[in-house]
Amino acid sequence: MSAQPQHRVTPEEYLAIERAAEFRSEYYDGVMYAMAGTSFAHGTIIWNLGLELGSSLRNSPCRGMSNELRVRVPPERLYLYPDIVIVCGERRFADDQADTLLNPTLIIEVLSKSTEAFDRGEKFTMYRRLASLQEYVLVSQNKAQVEVYRRQPGADQWLFSEKAGLDASVRFESISCEILLAEIYRDIDFKDLTLQS
């Protein structure tokens, strides 16, 4: 979420503005935030994840989108564009525009300097309100590290696991998929990487 807030608007006003806009904005508690651009590394990691997940989900009831599908968190205080969102089974949308998902199964955020604190803190706190959400994943940009928060059955508790190193693999239980970190970080040169977003 960008640090440049605009004037306060209702959720209905936000959706009307957003659907007509050339550039995307997120919405949090009455304020629209223009989305910042991404670094090459950020975009590459999203692309790599999309390729791996898309291949794995081809014959499953799950479908994914990379940072184009808006997710609404009740009670309509938060509208976000996750880096990757996956929904399994029936897809439920806020209205007939089918551009605001209500029931994500898995959300992946690629961390950047400007968003890491929000992604780890308040955003995750709000995402946990989504009863459908089974896993929340944070992917580092500057080292081979993936953190998975997995909802535990029958409880409002989340289990944390972390995988690190290019020889490791990470498993997303909610979609029965395992990916090598070497694939997630393909074409990323960490020693030359400078975070800019």
pLDDT in tens, 127-161: 999 999 999 999 999 999 999 999 998 778 999 99
Q: Is residue 17 part of a domain?
A: no
Average pLDDT over residues 70-89: 92
> What's the confidence (pLDDT) of residue 195?
42
| Beta carbons of 100 and 94 less than 8 angstroms apart | yes
Total count of domains within the chain: 1
| Structure tokens that stand for 21 in this block | 């806009």
Residue 168, helix vs strand vs coil: coil
Q: Is residue 106 part of a domain?
A: yes
Instruction: State which residues form the domain around 106.
Output: 37-192
Q: Is residue 78 part of a domain?
A: yes
The pTM of this model reads 0.90
Strands 84-88 and 62-66: antiparallel
pLDDT tens for 35-58 read: 877 889 999 999 999 999 999 999
| Beta carbons of 35 and 81 less than 8 angstroms apart | yes
Q: Is residue 12 part of a domain?
A: no
CATH number at residue 65: 3.90.1570.10
Q: Is residue 82 part of a domain?
A: yes
Q: Is residue 14 part of a domain?
A: no
Q: Is residue 13 part of a domain?
A: no
Q: Is residue 92 part of a domain?
A: yes
- The contacts of residue 64 (CB under 8 Å, 6+ apart) are 50, 53, 54, 57, 84, 85, 86, 87, 106
